[in-house]
Amino acid sequence: MEIFVEVARWRSFSEAGRRLGLTRAMVSKHILQLEERLQARLLHRSTREVSLTDAGLAYLAPCQATLAQALEATRTLHQVSQATAGAGLTGPLRIQAPSSFGSEWLADAVARFAALHPQLTPMLYVDDALLDPIAHGFDLTIRVGGIPDVHALAMRPLAPCRGMLCASPDYLQRYGVPRHPQELQQHRCLHFSHLTDGTLWQFVRGEQRESVRVAASFTANNGVVLQQAAQRGLGIVYNTTFLAWRALLAGTLVPVLQDWALPLNHLSALYPASRQPSAKVRALIDFLLAEYQPVPPWDRELMAAGLLAS
């Protein structure tokens, strides 16, 4: 049901797979199995799009309601588990995360998780370098994007990581507001140096696709630094909504080119695939899923303010 709802929401097998951490082939296989079980065709497939059949449209709302109830049941069980089995989680828990997400969101979540499990000693290491979780001995790594080695690491998607171009009102007043991605070549843009090709920005709008090679007027290896530079009017920053949300709500940054979509990434939890995750790792992952699903709180804030489409 969850896979069907995601396909229906995004009208795409590939996009549903990216959001659920599955391949397109696996998504298609599950949908076929569901249709066989129901003896009904739920989706029209074509090379360009996926759409709901009448049966699929009728099936969608009950599925959404069922998934919402299941999520609420999971949260309730998680709360009960915390109350009855919290004392069982003991010892060190080594966690690594990007510095921007780690300081803005994860530190608070880990602190609240640790308060529920007083025998636990979390060790949170924030760094934007793509460190090898196994070589550095991390129990859990939070990363934006995919898995560097699918054989060594297992992944649990935690939340969508949406990109958004932002600039200060002062910068846009001085240099103008770009109306098309290609106009970014005439603008000052800020570069995140840890990305392999961070000056190539890609956009999608319907069937249109644009790739733009921007000129970096300011470079840093930290997202917070880049955001501060953007707030000072140094240029347009390729930001994430989990970092930009406060500045956007305060008006010190404003969205740029909102009618063009940027590639969707994910915040994912990585742990060694060679062994079952420990009880404390599983408990933290469940805690974070309850925090960030189905829509993470930073995106909810922006949606409520009309700054992000649902």
pLDDT band at 78 (very low <50, low <70, confident <90, very high): low
Q: What was the pLDDT predicted at 82? A: 54
3 state DSSP class of 229? helix
Residue 176: the pLDDT is: 95
In order, the DSSP letters of 176-203 are ---SSGGGGGGS-EEEETTSTTTTEEEE
Domains in the chain and their CATH numbers? 2-82 (1.10.10.10), 89-158+266-294 (3.40.190.10), 163-256 (3.40.190.10)
The rounded Cα 53 to chain-centroid distance in angstroms is 30
Residue 69: burial class (beta carbons within 10 Å; 0-12, 13-18, 19+): exposed
Q: How confident is the model at residue 147 (pLDDT cuts 50, 70, 90)?
A: low
Nearest residue to 148 via CA among 126, 130, 124:
130
234-280: pLDDT as tens digits: 999 999 999 999 999 999 999 999 999 998 888 999 888 766 778 89
What is the C-alpha separation between 17 and 2, in angstroms, rounded? 11
What's the rounded Cα separation, in Å, for the pair 192 and 221? 6
Q: What are phi and psi of 17, to 5 degrees?
A: -65, -40
The residue among 293 and 194 whose pLDDT is bigger is: 293
| Average pLDDT over the chain, rounded to an integer | 87
Which band of pLDDT confidence, cut at 50, 70 and 90, is reported for residue 86? very low
Give me the DSSP letters along 248-265.
HHHTSSEEESTTSBPPPE
Element at 302 (helix H, strand E):
helix 297-304
33-55 per-position pLDDT tens digit: 999 999 999 999 887 788 999 99
